[in-house]
Structure 1
Amino acid sequence: MIGKLDEQLRFHQTALRLRSERQEVLASNIANADTPNYKARDVDFSGALKQAMAGPQGKGGAPADVLAKTSPRHLGGLSAGTTLSGAQLLYRTNAQGNVDGNTVDMDAERNQFIDNALRYEAGVTFASGQLKTLLTAVQGQ
């Protein structure tokens, strides 16, 4: 019983963390809409979630793309093209090219931003409902 509960909570934690990181990537795209030669990035959410849940240290382990340290005094870091959770950042293909080389499509970015925000809120609501149900069961009401 406790294993299933732990797995469900880990799933919600991982999904919300990935949604939050994707929101940062989308916000960065919107902020750089007028930057010449900026290439829009995005995260394949379902692939990143599967990778995070079946991580290298069992379920939900640390990212596999961590840079190797050559000295114990070096700080850890991630290689370019990954988020903090290890999700791979992909370049977004654009339907219409810009003269300045920027690939940000503001309509698409706004839609993705709003969709991701709504899914994040739904995830928070669902996790909150599960925790309230668990609390009710523990209290015996």
Structure 2
Amino acid sequence: MGLHEQALRVRSYRMELLASNLANADTPNYKARDVDFRDILRSYHQQQPNANTLGLATSRSGHIGSHSLGGIAITPQYRVPSQPSIDGNTVTAHEEKAKLAENNLRYQATIDFLNGKIRKLKQALKGQ
């Protein structure tokens, strides 16, 4: 499945980060985290241009900061707030919701594309 499988895995991880940001919108001193989807895939393909598979792995269960993509560490970056808050929290709820909605749409589009590929492969195997 190649690129689309990779995209799905990175988008899934990004969804976790964005949901965590939104859940901590009222937590004092919480710093919003995110990953740059394009930079991650670009780095992966520069190091492994012919690879078709990848894995997101953690060194420990529940250790979010140690994800990797085919040997390239996926390190969430702390987001610089567009508007500073008094309590030190860098989450802006409406921005997080917008980013989460966009990521969800792109995730679903990738799922739909992969489902189409699988459907075509099944048809080819059946000789249709």
Q: Same fold (TM over 0.5)?
A: yes
Q: How does 1:119-130 map to 2 (within 5 A)?
A: 119-130=106-117
Q: Which has the higher contact order (CA 8 A, sep 6+)?
A: 2
Aligned: 1:41 with 2:28: no
For residue 18 of structure 2, the aligned residue among 26, 29, 51 is 26
Amino acid at match of 1:110: K
Q: Give matches, 1:47-126, under 5 Å.
A: 47-55=39-47, 59=51, 60=53, 77=59, 81-85=65-69, 86-126=73-113
**Partner of 1:140 in structure 2?**
127
Q: C-alpha displacement at 1:25, in angstroms?
A: 0.2
Amino acid at match of 2:23: A
**Percent identity between the two aligned chains:** 40
With the length of structure 1 as denominator, give the TM-score of the two structures.
0.74
Runs of 4+ in 1 over 3 A off after TM superposition: 52-56, 60-63, 78-82
Preserved contact between residue 48 and residue 88 of structure 1 (Cα < 8 Å)? no
Q: RMSD of aligned C-alpha atoms?
A: 2.7
Say whether 1:10 aligns with 2:7: no
Larger radius of gyration, structure 1 or 2? 1
Aligned residues between the structures: 122
**Structure 2 stretches of 5 or more lacking a match?**
none
What is the TM-score normalised by the length of structure 2? 0.81
Measured in 2, the distance between the counterparts of 1:12 and 1:135 equals: 18
